[in-house]
Structure 1
Amino acid sequence: MAPHDAVLGWDEDTTAEAYDAFTREFPMYGTTSRDLARRAHLADSRLIVDLCGGAGATAQAILELAPATARVISLDNAAAMQRVGRRTLNDPRLTWVTAGAEDLGSHVPAGQADAVVCNSAIWKTDVPRVFTAVRTVLRPGGRFVFNIGGGFAGVRHDDEKSAHPGPSLNRLIHHVAARDYGYAPPPTRPAAPKLPLEAVTAHLSSAGLDLLDAEVVAQHGTVAEKRAWLSIPLFARPDGDFTHAQRMDILAKAYALTTPDAPTVTSWLTIVAQRPE
């Protein structure tokens, strides 16, 4: 089943507005979206699905690569995200559908999609159900392209391993929260990856999809970008009984201890699968 918080928080106007502002100011979603769209081989496509499409960053990348005659369906179950997307992305080729990823087959004709693309969200879905639905809507030879954050996939790119040592912004947040608010993080043990490649491969096989490629990709950013990300209400830290104002106070104090343009590296497991011909 999908995690309980798969929608919680996303369907709120404050989160949707902050998320959209982040995607316009910083390159992370544009870069990852263009990479996924490129891997989907869209040159001859007629119908493409942007799965868990949010406010449309990935749909925009798809539209830039797809033929002028292609149709794009952006499907997401957070209406607030789509309201923001409709305001900024007005293209007659794009249709917005408010629905869960698991219900993909109810909104896309069986065997008609040339590609399904999903950026940064597949792990939040009921993966076996979604993979089965993707297989249903893809035409023979159609591609399914998605990525999984390195922490969820249990992978690290070499660039991340060799990144400049020093306390991360997250670690500094915990330090400031402990110093100024008496925060004591709960004891944790290293968690097993939520969706490692072995599980992805097994789910794809069960759904009748072939794995074509799996690559660990590095995304380069800055501490300033990380701060902007952690300013989005849904991602604000630390966990626990804090108001958003308190979290923003902690974030500001932690950020003051960093170098804003210092480089950061995150890892992604990028998957290309296909419905057999």
Structure 2
Amino acid sequence: MAPHDAVLGWDEDTTAEAYEAFTRAFPMYGTTSRDLGRRARLGDSRLVLDLCGGAGATAKAILELTPATARVISLDNAAAMQRVGRRTLDDPRLTWVTAAAEDLDRHAPTAEVDAVVCNSAIWKTDVPRVFTAVHTVLRPGGRFVFNIGGGFAGVEHDDEKSAHPGPSLNRLIHQVAARDYGYAPPPTRPPAPKLPLEAVTAHLSSAGMDLVDAEVVAQHGTVAEKMAWLSIPVFARPDGDFTHAQRMEMLAKAYAQTIPDAQTVTSWLVVVAERPKVRP
């Protein structure tokens, strides 16, 4: 079963406002967006597509990395996220398109996009359909750069392996939920990785693209940042029949057991692909 943030809840004003506030207060999305943008080699780009662009954190990074004459399309199917983005990111080079990732080829000129960048969202899409659509819009030699959370990719960076032991904030939330709210998580086996590199490579090949590079990277943060992230309605835990207010009560009780400045580490698989150049 997919987490409740996989599809539902993104097109809601409360989520959009909280998400955008998080991107302004904490560096996670800005840092990862700039990393993806650098790997996409945007220096000579004329047209870049920000896929599943949300409220514009990645579009902002792309605009900073591209020439002044470049155009950027930020595509997302959540109108609420884009309403917040339009209010906070006003740039004549940026076009907001409300559409599903699987339909991106209907909203960009065929074989003219220099790069497609997708931050923290590719696993929520119909991956084979999206990869095929990306191939359609990319110019020959154009890059497709995206990242996948370590749990979904089945990878773990050495920094995460050696991180200070102790219960995570997620674990503490579930303990509080069980102790104070009668929460009984359904018995499940650890899920198999949704998008391991082998599957990604196979999907890219089927779509006519080449894998250029894949790297496991570590994202460093703090427990305070994790707490703020879990305050966003679509990320709040645990799953189950709880109100958002109850989830925030659980989060507060769990957070009180932590050291806010303690360091956290998450792992990500970063993938760089390319539409092959036309050979003479």
Q: TM-score range by the shorter chain?
A: over 0.9
Q: Which runs of 5+ in 2 are unaligned?
A: none
Distance 1:20 1:196 in 2: 29
1:239 aligns with 2:239: yes
Structure 1 pair 152–137 and aligned structure 2 pair: CA distance change class (3 A): same
Amino acid across the alignment from 2:271: I
Q: What SS does the aligned partner of 2:269 have?
A: strand
1:183 matched to which residue of 2?
Answer: 183
Q: Which runs of 5+ in 1 are unaligned?
A: none
1:154 aligns with 2:149: no
Distance 1:160 1:239 in 2: 25
Shift of 1:7: 3.5
1:217 aligns with 2:196: no
Number of equivalent positions:
276
232-241 or 194-203, which deviates more: 232-241
Shift of 1:137: 0.3
Q: What SS does the aligned partner of 2:170 have?
A: helix
1:270 aligns with 2:275: no
2:258 matched to which residue of 1?
Answer: 258
Check whether the contact 1:7–1:78 (CA below 8 A) recurs between aligned residues.
no
Shift of 1:81: 0.2
Amino acid across the alignment from 1:141: G
Distance 1:119 1:200 in 2: 15
Distance 2:176 2:252 in 1: 10
Amino acid across the alignment from 2:75: L
Shift of 1:4: 9.3
Structure 1 pair 3–137 and aligned structure 2 pair: CA distance change class (3 A): farther
The CA deviation string for residues 182-231 of structure 1, in whole angstroms up to 9 with x for no partner, is 21211121110000000000000000000000000100000001100110
Amino acid across the alignment from 1:154: G
Q: What SS does the aligned partner of 2:185 have?
A: coil
- Aligned-residue identity in percent: 87
Structure 1 pair 245–173 and aligned structure 2 pair: CA distance change class (3 A): same
Distance 2:125 2:26 in 1: 26
Q: Point out 4+ residue stretches in structure 1 off by more than 3 angstroms.
A: 2-7
Distance 1:84 1:38 in 2: 25
Distance 2:3 2:251 in 1: 27
Distance 2:183 2:43 in 1: 52
Distance 1:191 1:166 in 2: 22
Check whether the contact 2:212–2:274 (CA below 8 A) recurs between aligned residues.
yes
- TM-score normalized with structure 1 length: 0.98
RMSD: 1.3
1:165 aligns with 2:165: yes
- TM-score normalized with structure 2 length: 0.97
Distance 1:171 1:115 in 2: 38
2:121 matched to which residue of 1?
Answer: 121
Shift of 1:3: 9.6
Check whether the contact 2:37–2:61 (CA below 8 A) recurs between aligned residues.
yes
